[in-house]
Amino acid sequence: MRLWRKPEKPKRRNAATPIALFLGAKLLAYSILGIFLGWIGSVLQLSPYSRAALQIGIGIFMLGTAARLFNLHPIFRYFIIEPPRFVTRFIRRYAKNNASTVATPLFLGTLTIFIPCGVTQAMMVLAVGTGSPLLGAAIMFAFILGTTPVFFGLAYVATRLGEVMHTRFLQLAGAVVLILGLVSIEGGLNLMGSPYSFSNLLNAASVSLAQASGGSPEVAAQPDANGAITIQVYNTGYSPDLIKAPSGKPVSLTVVSNGTTGCTRGFVIPSIGYQRTLPETGQTTINIPASAANGNLRLHLLDGHV
């Protein structure tokens, strides 16, 4: 009979499993949230102008978020949405009182959608701006997947690296959000057909410079005698991309796509309220009335880029 029994080694708790479950649940929850946000954006997408207003609003929110990250002024702290106190209290108490290594990290990972940080909120707004559940999910999935190691690392080393590195990280995040905000506002202005977008101002400046130097900046295509003109749609742009038509006469614009799969299929002419996703292969004819064919008509992609 064995009287002495070797003491069992205390079971070492595997810390990787709950972390992996937490991050997996967070990734899945945010991707599902992205589907929902993209769907909201698609519902809100009524016309090029409403979409433009949405994109400009998103851009302003992002600029405010960037200003908050740069710590420019206390007023910019209001560019973050605080979840209700009962939500944060519930998450905190749940984490404290539940020790399951499977259910708890899964549940808490899912609940992180209720406590997004400022940059995540900016991405959520961007997901709304895509107007597509698939793209919304893709944005959130890529953002969470890409930033998880950064945020995890930052949280781990934040107290060790000190204030200087922490501030630099926030400034870097602010710079990224600032650029995204400007891109969003630029897209919104283009969708509205505004001549004051950065790309349109740049075009106008290059035309002025070319005229001042006595040259012609671009050769403009012209419609035929019947006012018809054809544009080829490629994956990366349109040809011709500059058309000069006599003012006050109707124009019949035929847009031809041939195996086109790029974002150029999202075709918008803000001035006449035209918005359509072109077929991959096919012809689409747009009749521009004489009343509209007066002045500059700008053609854009659905996301507002020229």
Partner 1 sequence: MAKQVFTVKGMHCSACVMTLEGLEDELAGIRSLKVSLHKQRAEIDYDDKKIGEDEIRRAFEGKGYGLARA
- Name the residues that contact partner 1, by CB under 8 A: 69, 74, 77-78, 80, 82-83, 85, 88-89, 91-93, 96, 115-118, 158-159, 163, 166, 170
* Closer CB to partner 1, 4 or 86, in the complex: 86
Phi then psi for residue 300, to 5 deg, are: -140, 165
- Decide whether 158 or 256 has the Cβ nearer to partner 1: 158
Taking the complex as a whole, how short is the minimal distance between the CB of residue 220 and partner 1, in angstroms? 51
Backbone angles phi, psi at 39, to 5 degrees: -65, -40
- Cα distances from 181 to residues 56, 71, 150, 163, in angstroms, run 8, 17, 21, 26
Nearer to partner 1, 11 or 96 (CB): 96
Shortest spacing between CB 51 and partner 1, in angstroms: 29
Q: Residue 127 carries which side chain, given as an amino acid letter?
A: A
Q: What is the nearest approach in angstroms of partner 1 to the Cβ of residue 282?
A: 48
Least separation in angstroms between residue 152's CB and partner 1 is 13
In whole angstroms, the minimum distance from the beta carbon of 93 to partner 1 comes to 8
Nearer to partner 1, 147 or 294 (CB): 147
Residue 24 · residue 145 · CB < 8 Å: no
In the bound state with partner 1, the residue whose beta carbon lies nearer, of 42 and 121, is 121
Supply 233's token pair: 């749609």
Cβ neighbours around 11 below 10 Å, total: 6
Dihedral angle, C-alpha 203, 205, 208, 214, nearest 10 °: -80
Closest C-alpha to 273, from 251, 290, 292: 292
Rg of the chain in Å (alpha carbons): 26
Q: Which of 249, 240, 230, 228 is nearest to 295 (CA)?
A: 249
C-beta of 79: minimal distance to partner 1 in Å?
Answer: 10
Q: Report in angstroms how near the CB of residue 74 gets to partner 1 at its nearest.
A: 7
Nearer to partner 1, 163 or 224 (CB): 163
> CB-wise, 92 or 249, nearer to partner 1?
92
Measuring CA to CA, which residue among 288, 200, 202 is closest to residue 246? Answer: 288
Min dist. Cβ of residue 33 to partner 1 (A): 16
Answer for the pair 185, 54: CB distance below 8 angstroms, yes or no. no
Nearer CB in complex with partner 1: 83/146? 83
